[in-house]
Amino acid sequence: MSSADGSADQRTGAGLGPVLRGPARPAAVAVVLLTLCACATTRSGLTHASAAQANMPCSEAVRVASGALLRLGYSPELIAAPRPGAPGKIVGHKNSGWSAATPEPGTEYTATVTVTCSNQGAEFDAVTDEGIPAALTFGPDFKAALDKVAARHVTRPRLNDQPETGLLIAVEPLRGADAAAEFGNDLSSSGITAVRVKIDNHTDRTYDFTTAGVQLVTQEGERIEPLADAQLAQLATSLHPILQKKRLGDATIAPQAVLSGFLYFPASAYRRATLVLVDQATEEEEGFSVEF
């Protein structure tokens, strides 16, 4: 709104900081409206967003916040677990490089989610240093990611004698003696790291698994995909038959079914794995992060 002399006055929107209102170009108005809808503000080069989940316990809030960051392309890491009266923190990193088009390090962005728990549920306050255009949609994207993760496989309190529920996922790189016991060779001399993957589907839903949905993250933050069968044959000719026999392929995981096997990666020091499954009924992706 403008004053009588035509100058722009200043208003403060709830949680939005100062918003200048007055004569503005259509493009500027569009940006303001988008910011309002995103429930996010940008200041000092950082974009902030917030969301809440009613009746959500602290332990579930960690899973949901981590899953939301993973959906937005960040590799999440729990820094401090939340508990009633003390907020928790989850930090995720995203590197703009290491793609087929850009096979080298790029700019690394950081997103931090502060999780506050109470008897009413969990509140999530997120901030990212990623710039435009991603910053313009960070608010709605973050909330949508939270909602999707929160809607799936919420673990409720249960008796000790009740079976596990949900998706149970284990990813374990085999080193030295463990690899030698499994394959008759520790594989490091061939430049290979064998990784055991096990997915136990204690749900009533069917999931699609693809090897392309599994990546390992190195200590430097580089994302590595599994070696193709032709690469395995070249690196370990004599061991190729047994590697191929134990190799995990694309598969469908039915309710109450278990999928297990090995994937093979270039030998390196890895710190985590990311894995994506697709719900057949909804065709939605669900991401997981497993720390080593």
- Domain end: 95, 116, 150, which one? 150
In this structure, what CATH number is given to the domain that contains residue 118?
3.30.530
Task: With beta carbons less than 8 A apart as the criterion, state whether 222 and 199 touch.
Answer: no
User: Are 141 and 25 found together in one domain?
Assistant: yes
**DSSP H helical segments within 136-186, as ranges?**
138-150, 176-183
User: Are 232 and 285 found together in one domain?
Assistant: yes
26: tokens are 């259509």
Is 15 inside any structural domain?
A: no
Q: Per the structure, how many domains does the chain have?
A: 2
Is 5 inside any structural domain?
A: no
Which amino acid, 11? R
User: Are 143 and 184 found together in one domain?
Assistant: no
Domain assignment of residue 272, given as a range: 166-291
Is 8 inside any structural domain?
A: no
User: Are 174 and 281 found together in one domain?
Assistant: yes
DSSP 127: E
Is 237 inside any structural domain?
A: yes
Task: With beta carbons less than 8 A apart as the criterion, state whether 247 and 229 touch.
Answer: yes
User: Are 28 and 112 found together in one domain?
Assistant: yes
Cis peptide before 87 (omega within 30 of 0): no
The whole-number pLDDT of residue 112 equals 95
DSSP per position, 10-79: EEEETTTEEEEESS--HHHHHHHHHHHHHTEEEETTEEEEEEEEET--HHHHHHHHHHHHHHTT-EEEEE
143-180: pLDDT as tens digits? 998 888 887 644 444 444 445 668 889 999 988 788 88
User: Are 263 and 234 found together in one domain?
Assistant: yes
Q: What is the pLDDT along the chain (292 residues), one digit of tens a residue?
A: 444 444 444 443 333 333 333 444 444 333 333 333 334 555 567 899 999 988 787 878 888 898 899 888 888 888 888 877 789 999 998 887 655 555 566 788 999 999 998 877 889 999 999 888 888 889 899 999 888 888 764 444 444 444 566 888 999 998 878 888 899 888 988 999 999 999 999 999 999 999 999 999 887 788 899 999 999 999 999 999 999 999 999 999 999 999 999 999 999 888 889 999 999 998 888 888 888 7
User: Are 144 and 249 found together in one domain?
Assistant: no
The whole-number pLDDT of residue 216 equals 93
Q: What is the largest CA-CA distance in the chain?
A: 86
Element (H, E) at 265: strand 258-266
User: Are 100 and 212 found together in one domain?
Assistant: no
Neighbours of 85 (CB within 10 A): 8
